[in-house]
Amino acid sequence: MTTGKDRVLIFDTTMRDGEQSPGASMTLREKIDLAQLLEEMKVDICEAGFAAASEGDFECVRSIAENAKEMVICSLARSTLSDIDKAGEAIKKAKRPRIHTFISTSPVHMKHKLRMGENAVLEAIGASVSRARQHVDDVEWSPEDATRTDWDFLCRAIDTAIASGATTINIPDTVGYSHPAEYGALIRRLIETIPNSDKVVWSTHCHNDLGMAVANSLAGVINGARQVECAINGMGERAGNAALEEVVMALKVRGDSMPFETAIDSQKLSRASKMVSQITGFPVQYNKAIVGKNAFAHESGIHRDGMLKNNQTYEIMDPEDVGVPSTSLILGKLSGRNAFRDKLQALGYELEQDPLNDAFRRFKALADKKKHVFDEDIIALVDDQLTGAQERIKVASLKVMAGTAGPQTAEIELEIDGEIHAAQSQGNGPVDAVFNAIRAITQHEARLQLYQVHAVTEGTDAQATVSVRLAEDGLVSTGKASDPDTLVASARAYCHALSKLEVRKRKRIAA
């Protein structure tokens, strides 16, 4: 059935531009899981990384390319031939490979960053795009800082890229400086001016420094762009990129005045948001559009009253459309295995027999401590189990003495590669004591950059989700864990971050 709407391609850059957010790095396993979810969600193009950045990045792009089915897998590359060859090598096993190459075109970038004149930049564009075409038929080219580029030079640069074989032209608002009327007009004018503009797909890539990334992207679409580059939860450099979930839902909900459609299965948006938050340790703002905890909550009496009479009074979209079940069946200690499995399925989890058994056991233990087990509890529990399974350092037992009398003391047993190690430490408060005890066993130099606690649900019996970010020698890793006991969650989150950091250190040495 044709809807008569123009199709807009969704290009997800959570694993490339998103990972450039300070502290948001992801492991290979996490990227593979995320890529799988993006594929299920029907993302058109996944920018899996920047293959030439490091051996780790190369390996991530290569593995994702190997596992992808229908989704186009893309690697970013600067305009050097060696970068492009690395990208080509990393994506060569993808069923649908793409190379995305870029160079700065604005006067400020050319002068201070590249130290290149216009002719040299044009030459680099021709050489890089032609080289990329030797690897693949699908080549995207971006003039970095396009929105601050001189108009004539921008046209010459794009002409050169198209003449050299680019098939998608992406117009980055790299510093988030543009506004919707201006960005939309830029896209329109380029399409009207550039010869052969109908032979390429025009794409938006908007940063959110002034909070206008989504609005700018939509203005680009209204004016002829048919690809939007965006990231889950708006992850990305500085203030981030256009948020994928917001772009998708804006086009879906306002199809009346924006006659465009994407292929995205919007019911997976909430899950994708939670997964990215879980992996990176970046919490989602409560009032964030589409995926924030309060996006469908109604507090004031007037609003609640209206909602009870007819939900269209205050809701412009159905929570179920973004994967938030509206009538959330609460589970408790009498809930059986089937109810639990049905709930997992409704929340988008398909677990094999063993992990399902483990999850059910953990659910029963939680239900013993907590009267009502909400959807958020189950999501936290399963996500925690999936990450915990990959950890090398595990918390075997923990005992903490806290209170006004002091000194706060922690006794911990860690299981490392199957062996139990024990330590006791004091600290400036119970969390400090726990972390000192872990440090006494693991003897590492990592610095604690972030410690964050969130209650998964309301009430004093709520599970706590703790995020810990550690940094050592330029490497950063984030760990996350959930438990009704905040100190247990803290210890496990610390061990999770430490396990990830160790993997990164080993990879660096190997490289």
We find the least distance from the C-beta atom of residue 50 to Zn ion, in angstroms, to be: 11
Instruction: Map residues 272-311 to x or -, x wherever contact with ligand KIV holds by CB under 6 A.
Output: ----------------------------------------
Instruction: Map residues 167-196 to x or -, x wherever contact with ligand KIV holds by CB under 6 A.
Output: -----x-x----------------------
Which of 192, 134, 131 lies closest to 158 in space, CA to CA? Answer: 192
| Angstrom distance (rounded) from CA 500 to CA 502 | 5
From the list Zn ion, ligand KIV, none, partner contacted by residue 144 (C-beta under 5 to 8 A by kind): ligand KIV
Binding ligand KIV (rule: CB under 6 A), the pick from 96, 98, 131, 205 is: 205
**DSSP string over 302-342:** HHHHHHHH-GGGT-SS-GGGGT--SS-PPB-TT--HHHHHH
Tokens of 274: 């939670």
From the list ligand KIV, Zn ion, none, partner contacted by residue 439 (C-beta under 5 to 8 A by kind): none
Q: What is the largest CA-CA distance in the chain?
A: 78
Rg of the chain over all Cα atoms, to the nearest angstrom: 24
| Angstrom distance (rounded) from CA 170 to CA 100 | 9
Q: Does 246 bind Zn ion (CB under 5 A)?
A: no
We find the least distance from the C-beta atom of residue 179 to ligand KIV, in angstroms, to be: 17
Binding residues for ligand KIV, how many (CB under 6 A)?
8
Which of 493, 432, 497, 499 lies closest to 463 in space, CA to CA? Answer: 493
**From its phi and psi, is residue 449 left (phi > 0), alpha (psi between -120 and 50) or beta?**
alpha
Kindly provide the residue ranges of all beta strands, DSSP E only, lying in 93-226, ordered along the sequence.
Answer: 97-104, 139-144, 168-173, 201-206
Which one of 10-18, 253-261, 324-332, 337-345 is the stretch in contact with Zn ion (CB under 5 A)?
A: 10-18
Quickly tell me which residue has 């123009």 as its tokens.
Answer: 6
From the list Zn ion, ligand KIV, none, partner contacted by residue 271 (C-beta under 5 to 8 A by kind): none
We find the least distance from the C-beta atom of residue 234 to ligand KIV, in angstroms, to be: 13
What order of strands is seen across the sheet that includes strand 419-427?
Answer: 393-401, 408-416, 419-427
Q: Binders of ligand KIV among 90-119, rule CB under 6 A? A: 102
Q: Does 208 bind ligand KIV (CB under 6 A)?
A: no
209/432 with CB nearer Zn ion: 209
We find the least distance from the C-beta atom of residue 501 to Zn ion, in angstroms, to be: 26
From the list ligand KIV, Zn ion, none, partner contacted by residue 30 (C-beta under 5 to 8 A by kind): none
Q: Does 144 bind ligand KIV (CB under 6 A)?
A: yes
Which one of 9-17, 79-87, 282-290, 409-417 is the stretch in contact with Zn ion (CB under 5 A)?
A: 9-17
52/434 with CB nearer Zn ion: 52
Q: Binders of ligand KIV among 14-33, rule CB under 6 A? A: 17
Which of 327, 326, 325, 330 lies closest to 371 in space, CA to CA? Answer: 330
Q: Does 142 bind ligand KIV (CB under 6 A)?
A: yes
From the list Zn ion, ligand KIV, none, partner contacted by residue 142 (C-beta under 5 to 8 A by kind): ligand KIV
81/448 with CB nearer ligand KIV: 81
Q: What contacts 455, CB < 8 A, 6 or more positions away?
A: 462, 463, 464, 465
| C-beta separation of 449 from 435 below 8 A | no
We find the least distance from the C-beta atom of residue 10 to Zn ion, in angstroms, to be: 16
Q: What contacts 214, CB < 8 A, 6 or more positions away?
A: 206, 208, 230, 234, 242, 243, 246, 247, 250
173/502 with CB nearer ligand KIV: 173
Instruction: Tell me which DSSP letter residue 211 carries.
Output: S
| Angstrom distance (rounded) from CA 382 to CA 137 | 41
Binding Zn ion (rule: CB under 5 A), the pick from 17, 47, 140, 384 is: 17
We find the least distance from the C-beta atom of residue 61 to Zn ion, in angstroms, to be: 17
Query: Phi then psi for 238, rounded to 5 degrees?
Result: 50, -115
Contact positions vs Zn ion (CB under 5 A): 17
Residues that bind ligand KIV (CB under 6 A): 17, 102, 142, 144, 172, 174, 205, 207
